[in-house]
Amino acid sequence: MKKGSEFTGVSILNINCELLNYYVCDLIYCTKKLKVLGFLVQKHLKSKEKKVVLYRKIKEINDNGIVVSSSKDILLPKQLPEIESALNSTSKIIGFEIYGINGDLVGIVKDTVIDAKNGKINGLIISEGVLTDLIKGYSVIPISNKMDFEKENIIIDNNQFQEAILYQQGGLKKMFGIEQEN
């Protein structure tokens, strides 16, 4: 498992582990399939031209970077209708607000937990508010079929949210060695 944010800045390599001079700048999510479709890549931070590496084209993810067969696996978004559609929609997930079924805001998505083998999103790292984050750290909520991904937010059953939430054991409680409540 990896956080989605851990992919940012990762190098793209060919099958011989030679640097292809591209770096991941963003992930392309599909909220319907709850997975990463691919990576948005660019040559350097100031480059305006962005290309795509499809997740299914990845041969390996290792300590040196993301391995693809060759530079032919790095494509323009307009060559991939599903990717172009995802880039034009609001399917970023990061920043989505999470609401309970009764309409109350329960958190905001700050990151994702991804199965690096297949790109499946297994969980959401969420902020429940500045004070809660400061004291407890961010929380993780596993993905479930009871979540409803709408246009720019997620609706979740409040009871399921409270039962499923996992605290990161971070924040001031960790810093000062205060045990976390279950």
Q: Label residue 58 by pLDDT band (50, 70, 90).
A: very high
Q: Which secondary structure element, helix H or strand E, spans residue 24, and what is its range?
A: strand 19-30
Q: Label residue 38 by pLDDT band (50, 70, 90).
A: very high
| Fold match, 2-88 / 97-175 | yes
CATH node for 2-88: 2.30.30.240
Please report, for the chain, the start and end positions of each structural domain, with discontinuous segments joined by +.
2-88, 97-175
pLDDT of residue 182: 46
Asked if residue 37 lies in contact with residue 30, where contact means CB atoms within 8 angstroms, the answer is yes
pTM across the whole model? 0.80
Asked if residue 94 lies in contact with residue 82, where contact means CB atoms within 8 angstroms, the answer is no
CATH node for 97-175: 2.30.30
